[in-house]
């Protein structure tokens, strides 16, 4: 399997998967999650709409189950995600005052992180805050608080669980360009202001044949002085054998990229089997097919880690 001790021998980098009730409640997924994965990220259960659907009223059933599952098997958890413009309940978007929104962010961050204090390796504190041109995305958070919403969230996060690694997470950080430069510049400003931040998550939802720039880009992100993690890896493809071979090569390239960059702490794939991918089964983006048979992509990752 992809898990320890082979991975530990390669520098203690974890290999994880998104998981949630739809996988930890399914026997074949549990078998794979526990034999091949060393870390879990809740795909939806810790998001704002799932945890605080109305103001000050918290629900943790599915998040608790995921954390308990990880603890029972001695696995890491990446918490995902505290402040994001998507899967945000409408009551947050109707807030009109900066002071009120500040209190709401602090209460949300503090409540989630305090509940799982000591049980979460890393949190995606802020998710997808950048536009493709590297500027700050418009959201209720940026409209009322500007970039300072990021500072507010990270400061509350550090106070709530000082041992947790705090990440900013985004997609399309796979190649040089305006978004990567924007992220590097943003992290520079955050660090200059003393904002407590430990890592950059690069989601790595990529298309076939686009893995070649990832190692250099991971190094660009790591040059900020932060850890980096590949947080939501999948490679959109199809089930043709030519594409499966290319996908296997791409997965191996991504795995080797993380192994080659000292500050890359690990890789998370965004699900177990193609059956349950957010991209749909036809995109066949993961390591197991819809019948839970290992694909060439699995072999590619496994070879990279061996
Ligand atoms: O919970 C409801 C359920 O009650 C309802 O019956 C069902 C009917 O459609 O919908 C369920 O909600 C869905 C939810 O997943 C839980 O399954 C939403 O419709 C669906 O939109 C949602 O999709 C998730 C998506 O984030 C939403 O933004 C995907 O599962 C999840 O993989 C995806 O993950 C995101 C990361 O968090 C951030 N980066 C991008 C990544 C891919 O979009």
Q: How confident is the model at residue 99 (pLDDT cuts 50, 70, 90)?
A: very high
Q: Which CATH number fits domain 6-305: 1.20.58.220, 1.20.1260.10, 3.30.9.10, 3.20.20.80?
A: 3.20.20.80
Dist CA 130 CA 182 (whole Å): 8
Q: Whose CA is nearest to atom 35 of ligand 1?
A: 43
Verify whether ligand 1 is closer than 6 Å to residue 302 (CB atom).
no
Contact 147, 189 (CB under 8 A): yes
- The set of catalytic residues is 128, 232
pLDDT at residue number 118: 96
Question: What value does the mean pLDDT take over residues 162-185?
Answer: 98
pLDDT in tens, 252-265: 999 999 999 999 99
Q: How many A from CA of 284 to the centre of ligand 1?
A: 18
Which residue of 44, 276, 286 sits with most ligand 1 atoms within 8 Å of its CB, as the best mutation to test the pocket? 44
Verify whether ligand 1 is closer than 6 Å to residue 138 (CB atom).
no
Under DSSP, the state recorded for 295 is: P
ipTM: 0.94
Q: How many A from CA of 85 to the centre of ligand 1?
A: 13
Q: Where are the beta strands (DSSP E) in 134-263?
A: 165-170, 199-202, 205-207, 227-236
Q: What pTM was computed for the model?
A: 0.97
Verify whether ligand 1 is closer than 6 Å to residue 17 (CB atom).
no
Q: Whose CA is nearest to atom 17 of ligand 1?
A: 44
pLDDT in tens, 104-152: 999 999 999 999 999 999 999 999 999 999 999 999 999 999 999 999 9
For the chain, what is the mean pLDDT?
A: 96
pLDDT in tens, 1-11: 455 544 544 55
pLDDT at residue number 5: 44
Dist CA 267 CA 214 (whole Å): 13
Q: How many A from CA of 6 to the centre of ligand 1?
A: 33
Q: How many A from CA of 44 to the centre of ligand 1?
A: 6
Dist CA 1 CA 127 (whole Å): 31
Q: How confident is the model at residue 306 (pLDDT cuts 50, 70, 90)?
A: confident
């Amino acid at each position: 399997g992809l898990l320890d001790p082979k991975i530990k021998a390669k520098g203690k980098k974890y290999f994880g998967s998104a998981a949630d009730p739809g996988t930890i409640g399914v026997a074949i997924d549990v078998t794979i999650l526990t034999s091949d994965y060393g870390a879990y990220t809740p795909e939806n259960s810790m998001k704002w709409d799932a945890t605080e659907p109305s103001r000050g009223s918290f629900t943790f059933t599915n998040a608790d189950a995921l954390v308990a599952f990880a603890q029972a098997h001695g696995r890491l958890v990446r918490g995902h995600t505290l402040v994001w413009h998507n899967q945000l309940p409408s009551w947050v978007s109707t807030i009109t005052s900066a002071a009120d929104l500040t209190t709401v962010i602090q209460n949300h961050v503090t409540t989630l992180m305090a509940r799982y204090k000591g049980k979460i390796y890393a949190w995606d504190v802020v998710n997808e805050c950048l536009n493709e041109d590297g500027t700050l995305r418009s959201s209720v958070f940026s409209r009322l608080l500007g970039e300072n919403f990021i500072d507010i969230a990270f400061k509350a996060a550090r106070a709530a669980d000082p041992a947790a690694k705090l990440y900013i997470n985004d997609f399309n950080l796979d190649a040089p360009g305006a978004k990567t430069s924007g992220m590097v510049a943003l992290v520079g400003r955050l660090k200059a202001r003393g904002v407590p931040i430990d890592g950059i998550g690069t989601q790595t939802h990529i298309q076939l044949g686009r893995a070649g720039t990832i190692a250099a880009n991971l190094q660009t992100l790591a040059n900020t002085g932060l850890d980096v993690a590949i947080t939501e890896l999948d490679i959109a493809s199809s089930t043709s054998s030519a594409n499966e071979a290319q996908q296997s090569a791409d997965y191996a390239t991504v795995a080797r990229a993380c192994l080659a960059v000292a500050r890359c702490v690990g890789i998370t794939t965004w699900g177990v089997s193609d059956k349950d991918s957010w991209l749909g089964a036809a995109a066949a983006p993961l390591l197991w097919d819809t019948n839970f048979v290992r694909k060439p992509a699995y072999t590619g990752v496994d070879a990279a880690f061996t």
